[in-house]
Structure 1
């Protein structure tokens, strides 16, 4: 790749070429830049030719400077692809770039529209003899023929740099003409001209328009969004398409000689959207680079291990007579293999956890879209495809995590009585679309009823993996059988097919983790059959694999009908309890959604939720979705979330667990230990579903724990239930017996609040500020804390306590109303009488006569 210059646009192109090269094992990229020097570019191209490169990609500095070099490459038989700029030579293989004439014409039309059809404007061109500069100027002039009152009063050449834009603008301003608009043939020259014009004429209303529209810091899209440019034009790089064109030429595949790239104008109306899209694309590219780096590290480790093993074999072949060294080497090999397997499993587990967040951002919006009654059948079908494939991906993620649980000894058995026959038919039905696509014939041979005591989830995973393999390895038009039989106190499940079978020498290793038979169909993780064996052994069963004659494979799994040392009655009770919990959760979900809708229709005051997550997409998604029912604010890490919670006192905090700066567990721990925020319920959302992760969450004081990807309905019901529990906490504050037990910090706060109020009931000057000072809180923090816990303000609680003290004194003493009013902290008897009547429904003089209609004494 011979670049004519260095700038952020060409750096972006180079990065795209490097990223795209990851998918080609046989591509090696070499780069050079001429830094706007024609002679240097010719020398660099000649150097590439002498090295014998297979193909040259050239971005010429000017149209007439590198023609001899292109001719020399042609004589050597080296294909030449011109990118971005053209030359006078017609002996190039292919060209790729934007239509600079059309760009100039489009910008001319836009400038005329921007100026209202009249005014003076100037043009700062690129390098004098470069093809983009020539074509853009030509398109601009042709477009302005339709607008006679739009005058191009000056057009001068720069060299594509910001400094040249400043220099040319200075020369133009010396002419003294008024400038209404400046058109720079790239954004940098337009920005250089803007700086000069604004310095010379601070009150100028001139408009500034450029080309390139990069999304990088200081790029055109950001400048348009921030108002420093009025428009720019995306000048695409598309390194991916450029490299694909080069590969097609080298592999003698069809290609076009002229390849024009699509582009578009960027205005203040669309700049923010384009910037968001570009940022998302850059994020995906960064993720790809990280994954590529991971792969490189693992390949390097693999190569190192391979070399090391070869050395060991050589040493052992020389010292075969020394048994000690032989056994030591064998032991070392086993240990390294185990470490490698554990490293692969740990890597797969971490990747699986990371996949849960993007799965959440896919699954939940798809479910929302699928519920839209306005969708066409075609659109609904496409959403069904997305949903099925995300379910498959989630199954694969769960498979990796299940295997990790088995390896760590964290997987438990959940037994239940059920009829296996309908379950097998239901599990098999999931594969009907895939079988229909390959024209496979399925034979189901199961009895009418087969009652067993076993773990339904693990049996389903076993059958899913075996059927999945049969569908994958059976050619089109083949057959698959699934059979279930019972013999005495044992039952068996058999899955067989007419597929490609298993090499005899591989049968003994087929259930080893990460072991895969090399076939054209091999594309899995190598843990499926290992998981089948692990689950089978957990259920006290056996699994065997054999080849079927004349072709195909057969897998046989045998289990006891009842699990040893199991209490059937107790298991049945557990099963019934789980069904009841599932039913109650469904009812809660429906009820919560109905109440949400009712509250929305009534326009009740909305509760506040704080979302804390380091993933901007998750924050935006939750804010958009929960915003229908609640006021939502957000924070990017635990420390920011803690400060926001102390400042805003939301009704609920929803936080991710794995975050930089401060993780969700530490955030939860601090919220629950701080008197300002201890009453706020905390709901943790996480991709980690291990039991020890849940235990850590609840030990930190979390009120809820939901695993990604989650159901919107279930999450909404959980949020509502947690917020509603605050009302129960208010009852607990008031002495009710049905309230939710407050936290340790809330109990301390309640006692201190009561003591402070009781000590100052007779002090009419005692204020809320003083009350907050005794409790160590500001007036605003005290108000939010007390309001969230009791539903009343501190002023209302203080007045209520005084009125209740006064009511007791009226009933038990002979003191006058005025004496009691002053004794209970009221500034005047008349104000006391009004407050007493408003609270109890009768004047103080009627207290104790049975006339009260208001609130009873607590």
Structure 2
């Protein structure tokens, strides 16, 4: 990062601090004025407490004086609640100043008062503060007990949440990060429920700390930034300082050292302002680590020394140990081994006293190396022994015995020296000692080599894993590409094949003009796809070459853009083309430039709705042609924008995508532009459209001809607009079955419709959503649907229709370009009655449709038979229809004898509207609800009459008929004889 940018950020931090301080000072002045005006003791005490909170931000002396004044006034006035609160606030203040013992005594006084007067809030506030004090002193068991008392006794959500925070800190210190995360998460949920933003920021910051401890640095940074933004809004300097310090640690560990330095300086400024000396020490220590990574050893030494000095001043034993070791390391690297040893010895004493085993192990290892290098083998040995003891779990019993043997040999050597043994014996001892040293060095070298080998193997493993992931992703993209390209090929091939078969079957008929246009249109589409694939293959093989010819570049662009005029007019779009009218004579590859223009404009029209705007602008300056294609369509999201030029990538790869495509158009355009030494860039915003900019170097060829005055040629949609002739839609009144055709491709829809129109009435829908609405409202006899459609694909349409009572009886034929067995199984599993792969024979589709409709007709006839008992399983295809019919028959069985029971009661009993009930029963039984009820009663009457159980009159009344003549008439219509004759 350059120096001006660093300075700019530093000044912005200073400005922010100045703003906060000025705002805080205004608040202090306001509170002091309020304090001078009030005469009521309780108001004065509360105002003093608020003033104390403000003073804490910038003056610890004033803050302590103010809280003591408030406590004294509360004691005189006998306000016990306020007195307990004052002791709790003062105790927490002392804790923050690292005066833990004084803090504990003060907080216990507040706890005693709260327990005596039954002040529940004061009680849990005191217990939480006590837990914080014990935690800060390193007495985690006592801290945990205090927090558990709060969690087990108080019903206050805020108190419980603060205790969760404390418990999370305890578990975090013990290394139990999962339990710590659980506590912090519960705390954040409580604070969120209470709307307590300040403490919510604390909980989020602590979750970030756990993520930092787990080395999930990206997640940790996000949590700290959320916490920082909340504290920034609330003006909470302590919270901002915490977030800044931790962000500096995170970015340091991620090796983003400039950001780490900026956040460290911000944290240091804020903690200095607040007077939090321990935190200031931590900031200096982290700054030292940053300097080490930057190889600024002298600056690192200064930062570590500052951390050590402050730690000694506040008696922070843990930090004294770590800072001492860090200072020792710096002196060693700077070549001052004596000072390094002195600081290491001091650190060893602290680590031993505090039982910091890991720190002790590191210190003894360093001391052993330093003393060995200075020739102090006794000291080196003692420290090596301590290192071995601390790392005992990593060594076998044999190595421990070897250490004991070395010790014995050393002692023998000392005794030998003392009693002045013969020179030969001394030499032998020296050789033995040297042998042990060599063995130790060999072990160290072997361990280092093993670690290096493990690191290399792990790195190779990571590279291999990354390569595998990239290959898997490439394989997935290719699979999607081939699935899409097969769909792109199969749909036009179906239309071409079907039209040719129609011509073959009717050789005497002259082909219709629209059929010829459709075949040409789809042939060109297939040809274009093949050409794109061939060019991609040539690019991959490095065989695609430029074939420049001289010509007018602007004329070429005008010709390419004019091919979209009619398309823009059909969709009532504002299509603007701005190309200078002057001649730009140059040598260029016309074919490749036209393909780039065509692909970019096709893309713009594809992702823009009817009535929206697409513009094409070309300019030429300083031997460079600039082309801009801009649309007002739906745009591309920021996370997808970097990948749109990747091979096979599609912004929308679902089955419901609204626009067809293979995912190679933009990739091919980029390759062609780069072949012409040009560049292509894109800017896009979701919901506002996209802008593609192409820059290609082209050198003008001077022809000696006079140039016309340069001006812009504007082509809008008005020039190409035409009026579609008015057509009167005639509804089909034929008494034939109805088929709902759901297909988004206009040509395919018209082709299928032409093949079915002779035998069926056809309803059309262009996507799954419209198809579902039409199926519910029109109740067709059959649905034919494509698999890949916008808004709702064929699979979802099939699932919804087969799980709705209103439509579950309608048979469905699914059409798709996906020819795999797994695709067919998927389609059938969703409930489709038949599955047809493109390209298909029109006759085959017609036969399958005829069979399904005929099957449903036979089921209806079976129900309408004169049998008195019908099994729903015999007249239905799916379980929903069976359940519905059983429900209808059960209802009729219960209520048919009631003469007042009619269609209205049926609707209520089945919870269906009149229209829904009529259409459903008509579709399953071929009878309206009234006919079904009447025939059920007549069939039951026939059953009773055949058993001679009663007279005709009594039977009529038993089955719900009040009018005997109407009963006789209906009975004769159904059975052909009168009831008495039957």
- Give the shorter-chain TM-score range: 0.3 to 0.5
Richer in helix (by share): 2
Richer in strand (by share): 1
TM value normalised by structure 1: 0.33
Does 1 or 2 have the higher relative contact order (CA < 8 Å, sep 6+)? 1
Instruction: Answer with 1 or 2: which has the greater Rg.
Output: 2
TM value normalised by structure 2: 0.29
